[in-house]
Structure 1
Amino acid sequence: MREMKVIGVGAGNPDHVTIQAVKALNQVDVFFVLDKGEVKQQLVDVRSEILREHAGEREYRVVFGQDPERDRRSDAYVESVDDWRRRRADVCADLIAAELQDGQVGAFLVWGDPSLYDSTLAILDDILARGELTFEIEVIPGISSVSALAARHRIGLNQVGRPVQITTGRRLAKSWPDQVDDVVVMLDAQTAFTEHTDQKADIYWGAYLGTPDEMLIAGPLAEVAEEIVERRAEARRRKGWIMDTYLMRRVPTELPKDL
């Protein structure tokens, strides 16, 4: 039986790799990497650095597949993501079938944590559902960009007795979540926080967390929103890509009655 490990490797710093992940890395025969092209070569380079530092001098192979392009202009967002995942599953299934022998261990190194807005587990489930390949799956949790953001700003994610919600920029652009004062936002390509500068809220923003290019800005949303927009745009022009997340926090509309 083949085995696939889905290993969370943190937000970009090789020191984010946990001891559990290091042990898992040293059990792998074949590492699978989806190449996102020259613009995002740094994402591949970080994975290579993690392997050099933590996978030891044992023999293993690194196999690359071409990550299919995703239609980001479609109004049918869910359908376009489903289509993209299916095409990714096609690539991964071919790689696993060709490169991973019975009794061997393969792995995908997942940026951040596999549990949070990552498609790897869904892709592997898709491959298994097709019935052409069989393998066991083990998931190794990692340090997410959300954890890294809170640590770098030296804050907790929630206020006393209050909930916190993790959402996307697409949903935040429509409205601030009901009955939630602390909102963590990921996958925000359109700077949706600018739609809420009328709120009495603070923002804690971070980009390229855990890497030498890390950027941090915090302050009242109405005062720092423009600075974040400008620095984000400049960084994207310079590097060709950006990965960022942020927490928006407003004063609770009503204090908890029971803690």
Structure 2
Amino acid sequence: MRVRILGIGMGPQHVTGEVADALRGCDYAVAARKRDGDALLAVRRQVCDAYGVPLVAVPDPERDRDPADYRAAVAAWHEARVAAYERVLGERGGTAAFLVWGDPSLYDSTLRIVRRIAERGAVPVEFDVLPGVGAPQLLAARHRIVLHGVGRPVHVVPARGLGGAVAAGLDGIVVMLGGEQPVFEGLEGWSVWWGANLGTDSEELVAGRVGDVLPAIGAARSRARERAGWVMDIALLRRPE
């Protein structure tokens, strides 16, 4: 069978022509259902409805959110997901789509999970990947900025990696999966361009010196959660000159 891993940005408005054509050729799409009333699942359903593709919702295995060993906990969660999706693919066959938020190359486990299914061999799988609009691209566009300085690198890290990036002397850092406000503690002199729920009706944007805008970020984050029921945020941080 064939699996197509498709980047969808933040919803129907970001689906590229290439992804749209691929989705039309799929028999169904597969997505995790994390809870009753899952708002993110509902957006995936909107994408599927737009292209006449049924969506199969798979209950997401429980995940330890405060593990002693983060990598081991994520590996166990991924294996549980592999087993859950493998059952669905084995039962249905055909051509299946996985709809990935943003772009499949950044902080998403779908590609690893599908590759693992293929490696296990219980369900013969061939897969390909089509890119989507990523959160860093949306952040730069919304703030009308270039992510890096002239001739300088930009580093992309999850929130838990920010401290190490700062300690290493990096001066341009994109922080994804930001979590709660304390991720910026100790960086009050840095500049920040922050966004939450980019590309959606609950989008929020804040920019300025970290020490000046922390309260605004906290308030904006609360508004985004209240409107959408969830928050995905991202920020570009630059060390002061």
Task: For residue 191 of structure 1, report the CA deviation from its aligned partner.
Answer: 3.1
Q: Superposed, which structure 2 residues align to 1:1-259 within 5 Å?
A: 2-10=1-9, 12-38=10-36, 41-53=38-50, 55=51, 57=52, 60-100=53-93, 104-174=94-164, 176=166, 178-198=168-188, 200-233=189-222, 235-236=224-225, 239-252=228-241
For 2:45, the aligned partner's letter is S
For structure 2, the residue ranges without an aligned partner over 5 or more in a row are: none
Tell me which amino acid in the other structure corresponds to 2:134.
S
Provide the C-alpha distance between the structure 2 equivalents of 1:180 and 1:81, rounded to a whole number of angstroms: 27
Secondary structure, aligned partner of 2:185? helix
Query: Larger Cα Rg: Structure 1 or Structure 2?
Result: 1
Q: Is the 8 A contact 1:8 1:21 kept in 2?
A: yes
Task: Report the residue type matching 1:116 in the other structure.
Answer: L
The 1-side partners of 2:48 and 2:194 are apart by 29
CA distance in 1, matches of 2:22, 2:227: 35
TM-score (norm: length of structure 2):
0.93
Once the two structures are superposed, what CA deviation does each residue of 1:18-76 show, in whole Å capped at 9, x if it has no partner?
1110110111012111111125x2211211222233x1x5xx43212101121111121
| Aligned-partner residue type, residue 92 of structure 2 | E
Look up the equivalent residue of 2:204 and give its one-letter code: M
Gaps of 5+ in 1: 253-259
Residue 196 of structure 1 and its aligned partner are, at CA, apart by: 2.9
CA deviation after TM superposition for structure 1 residue 121, in Å: 0.8
Q: Which is further off, 150-159 or 29-38?
A: 29-38
Alpha-carbon offset, residue 251 of structure 1: 3.6
Paired residues in the alignment total 241
Return the alpha-carbon distance in structure 2 between the equivalents of residues 175 and 158 of structure 1.
15
- Change over 3 Å in CA distance of 1:201–1:35 after alignment to 2: same
**Counterparts of 1:196 and 1:160 in 2: how far apart (Å)?**
26
Instruction: Give the share of equivalent positions with the same residue, in percent.
Output: 38
Moved more, 123-132 or 145-154: 123-132
Secondary structure in 2 aligned to 1:196? coil
Note the aligned Cα RMSD (angstroms): 1.8
Which one-letter code corresponds to 1:7 in the other structure?
Answer: L
Deviation at 1:175, TM superposition (A): 5.2
